[in-house]
Amino acid sequence: MSNVPLPIEREQLIQQLEYGLTFMKIIMNKGIQDLLLDYLYLLQKWNRVYNLTAIRDLDRMVSTHLLDSLSVFPYIPAGQILDVGAGAGLPGIPLAAAIGSSQFSLIDSSQKKTTFLRQAVSELQLTNVRVFCQKIEEWLPPVKFTCIVARAYAELSQFINSTKHLLAPDGIFAAMKGRYPSTEIESIPEGFVAKQVIKLQVPGLNADRHLVLVGRA
pLDDT by residue (tens digit) across 128-151? 999 999 999 999 999 999 999 999
Q: Which residues of the chain have pLDDT under 70?
A: 1-6, 8
What is the DSSP annotation of 52-81?
A: --S---HHHHIIIIIIHHHTTGGGPPSSEE
pTM above 0.85, yes or no: yes
Pairing between β-strand 192-199 and β-strand 210-216 as defined by DSSP bridges:
antiparallel
Domain 7-216, classified CATH 1.10.3680.10, yes or no? no
CB 69 within 8 A of CB 90: yes
In this predicted structure, what is the pLDDT of residue 193?
98
Q: What is the Cα gyration radius of the chain?
A: 17
In this predicted structure, what is the pLDDT of residue 56?
87
CA distances for 114 relative to 45, 86, 101, 134, angstroms: 16, 8, 23, 10
CB 167 within 8 A of CB 191: no
State the Cα–Cα distance between residues 72 and 175, nearest whole angstrom.
Answer: 10
Query: Identity (one letter) of the amino acid at 153?
Result: Y
Phi, psi for 204 (deg, rounded to 5) = 90, 0
In this predicted structure, what is the pLDDT of residue 209?
97
DSSP 8-state class, residue 180? -
For residue 134, give every residue at least 6 positions away whose Cβ sits within 8 Å of its Cβ, in sequence order, or none. 107, 109
State the Cα–Cα distance between residues 96 and 102, nearest whole angstrom.
Answer: 7
CB atoms within 10 A of CB 155: 14
CB 205 within 8 A of CB 64: yes
